[in-house]
Structure 1
Amino acid sequence: MTARLTTRGLTLAYEERTVVEGLDLDVPDGRVTVIVGPNACGKSTTLRALGRLLKPREGSVLLDGESLATLPTKRIAQRIGLLPQTPVAPDSITVGDLVARGRQPHQHWWQQWSDEDERAVTDAMDRTDVSALADRAVDELSGGQRQRVWIAMALAQETGLLLLDEPTTYLDIAHQVEVLDLVRQLNHDQGRTVVVVLHDLNQAARYADHLVAMKSGEVVAEGAPAEVVTEELVRDVFGLECVVVPDPVTGSPLIVPGAPWSAA
């Protein structure tokens, strides 16, 4: 397994509260890695550090063997695309203008916009089904529409590495499937390395090539979903009694919770 993006001895904290400690992680190239775990386990914090939105207290994040801390911001933006959990759009910006901002890392002072930029933006909007919204203000859209617009901006950046923090938030089940299918398609057609944080363990098991389970700021298991997702792991990490069965469609692990509460 090769890995362009890695962490070594990574410790992350917010003021005095340590969230992740001593983390060693290798993100497999050309594959979809999904990070799962209970709330406040450090998965989103880890993703922020992978995109250099959070400075490590100790250790380092390495891109092609170089510390992110030493690389110019524009160079990182040309190689790593990041969609954070709660992005904020400028007031009154249109969908088309927001998606076009994904091209800024590839522009130069002598050439502000190119045919390649136009192609990338058009393709990203088509893939996320937001082309018809191009002239609408982002703040007028529904939560699901806004999420798809943000994903389009990340796709327009056209980086080899793409980090998505809970990209299915606000989406109904049909659009959740569309987004995760899009992630798989980008990985297959363009060879993009994708890291996704998800809450839904069944979706993670269905779409991941490489699954990372975290608890209390540490990786407790990683590997193929069929190897990682067991009844014991779900009980240990999530505190949930369940039965794990094969998904009837994909054969991936399917978590069935125990019987619901009943007055009987």
Structure 2
Amino acid sequence: MTSRLTARELTLAYEDRTVVHELDLAIPDGRVTVIVGPNACGKSTTLRALGRLLKPAGGSVLLDGEELAKLPTKRIARSVGLLPQTPVAPEAITVADLVSRGRQPHQAWWKQWSEEDERAVTDAMERTDVAALADRPVDALSGGQRQRVWIAMALAQETELLLLDEPTTYLDISHQVEVLDLVRRLNRLRGRTVVLVLHDLNQAARYADHLVAMKAGRVVAEGPPEKIVTEELVRDVFGLRSVVVPDPVTGSPLVVPGAPWHAGRETEEEAAEAGASAV
């Protein structure tokens, strides 16, 4: 397995609080990698470090064998596109202008806006279904519309590696599927290497070629979803009792949570806890 983007003994912290502990990770080239895990497990923090938005407290992130921290910003921007979890748009900027900013890494004083830039922006807006919003101010859009505009900007950058932190946030189920299908097409038809952070384990299992499960700042398991998504893993990582069955459409693992609570029904654990508290 070849990998242009890797992490070696990566430790990440916010002030004195360590979030990720000596993590080793290799992103498979030409594949869709999805990072999953419970809240505050370090998955978004890891993605930020892979995109050089966060400086390692220890270890390193490597791009083509060179430390990311030592590379020129523009070189990174031509290779790695990153959509963070909560991007902020400049006030009153229009959709078309924001998407066009994805082309900045390709600009130079002797090479301004080109037909290639125009093509990339138009293509990105059409693929994310925001072309009709081109002249609208971004801050006048709904949360779901804004999310699609940000994704369009990342696509317009046309990097070989694309990092997306919870790209389905604010989107209804239809647009969630559209975005994830778009990611799959970019990977399959254009060879893009994509890394996603997702909350929905079933979506992750459906769209990932390579799944990375994290817990408490460490990788618990990684590999093809069909090999690592088990009832034991779901219980260990998420603390959830479940049944894992084949997805009837794709055959990928489908996690079905255990029976919901209702009055008059106790689990064995609840009954045991009730008995212990009565002693």
| TM-score normalised per structure 2 | 0.94
Equivalent position of 1:168 in the other structure: 168
- Aligned pairs for 1:44-63 (under 5 A) are 44-63=44-63
Equivalent position of 2:156 in the other structure: 156
1:213 to 2:205 alignment = no
| TM-score normalised per structure 1 | 1.00
Determine the C-alpha separation between the residues in 1 that align with 2:53 and 2:168. Answer: 21
Determine the C-alpha separation between the residues in 2 that align with 1:158 and 1:228. Answer: 31
Equivalent position of 1:111 in the other structure: 111
Amino acid at match of 1:118: E
SS of alignment partner, residue 123 of structure 1: helix
Determine the C-alpha separation between the residues in 2 that align with 1:195 and 1:130. Answer: 23
Equivalent position of 1:242 in the other structure: 242
Determine the C-alpha separation between the residues in 2 that align with 1:112 and 1:133. Answer: 24
Identity of aligned residues (%): 83
Equivalent position of 1:70 in the other structure: 70
Count of residues in correspondence between the two structures: 264
Equivalent position of 1:40 in the other structure: 40
Determine the C-alpha separation between the residues in 1 that align with 2:259 and 2:237. Answer: 19
Amino acid at match of 1:252: S
1:19 to 2:19 alignment = yes
Determine the C-alpha separation between the residues in 1 that align with 2:200 and 2:168. Answer: 10
1:145 to 2:145 alignment = yes
Name the larger-Rg structure: 2
Determine the C-alpha separation between the residues in 2 that align with 1:90 and 1:182. Answer: 26
Determine the C-alpha separation between the residues in 2 that align with 1:21 and 1:39. Answer: 16
Q: Give ranges in structure 2 of 5+ residues lacking alignment.
A: 265-279
Equivalent position of 1:260 in the other structure: 260
Equivalent position of 2:272 in the other structure: none
Q: C-alpha displacement at 1:112, in angstroms? A: 1.8
Equivalent position of 2:269 in the other structure: none
Amino acid at match of 1:234: V
Amino acid at match of 1:97: D
Q: C-alpha displacement at 1:111, in angstroms? A: 2.0
Equivalent position of 1:179 in the other structure: 179
Q: Give ranges in structure 1 of 5+ residues lacking alignment.
A: none
Q: C-alpha displacement at 1:110, in angstroms? A: 1.6
- Aligned pairs for 1:72-91 (under 5 A) are 72-91=72-91
Deviations along 1:119-150, one digit per CA (max 9) or x if unpaired, are: 00000000000000000000000000000000
Query: CA RMSD, aligned part only?
Result: 0.4
Determine the C-alpha separation between the residues in 2 that align with 1:242 and 1:234. Answer: 7
Determine the C-alpha separation between the residues in 1 that align with 2:262 and 2:68. Answer: 52
SS of alignment partner, residue 78 of structure 1: helix
SS of alignment partner, residue 135 of structure 1: coil
Equivalent position of 2:120 in the other structure: 120
Q: Runs of 4+ in structure 1 displaced over 6 angstroms?
A: none
